[in-house]
Amino acid sequence: MEGASEAISVPRPFRLTEAVGLPLTVVVLDQLTKWWVQAELALNEPVRILGDNVRLLYIHNEGAAFGISVGEYSPTLFLVLASAASILVLYLLIQTPPAQRLQRLALGLILGGAVGNIIDRVRLGQVVDFIQVGVSGHYWPIFNVADSAVTVGAVVLGIAYLRDR
**Can you tell me the distance from the alpha carbon of 80 to that of 77, in angstroms, rounded to the nearest whole number?**
5
Query: Can 52 be counted among the known catalytic residues?
Result: no
Q: Which letter, b or e, does each residue of 48-80 get, where b requires 16 or more Cβ atoms within 10 Å of its Cβ?
A: eeeeeeebbbbbebebbeeeeeeeeebbeebbe
In which band, very low, low, confident or very high, does the pLDDT at 164 lie, cut at 50, 70 and 90? confident
59: three-class secondary structure by DSSP: strand
Of these residues, 52, 120, 129, 164, which one is catalytic? 129
Q: Greatest CA span in the chain, whole angstroms?
A: 74
How far, in whole angstroms, is CA 112 from its chain's centroid? 5
| Closest to 126 in 3D by CA, of 70, 58, 40, 64 | 64
Mean pLDDT, residues 125-148 taken together: 94
Mean pLDDT, residues 73-102 taken together: 91
Mean pLDDT, residues 3-21 taken together: 60
**Alpha helices in 41-144, H assignment, sequence order:** 74-95, 101-124
Query: Can 129 be counted among the known catalytic residues?
Result: yes
Of these residues, 30, 120, 147, 164, which one is catalytic? 147
In which band, very low, low, confident or very high, does the pLDDT at 3 lie, cut at 50, 70 and 90? low
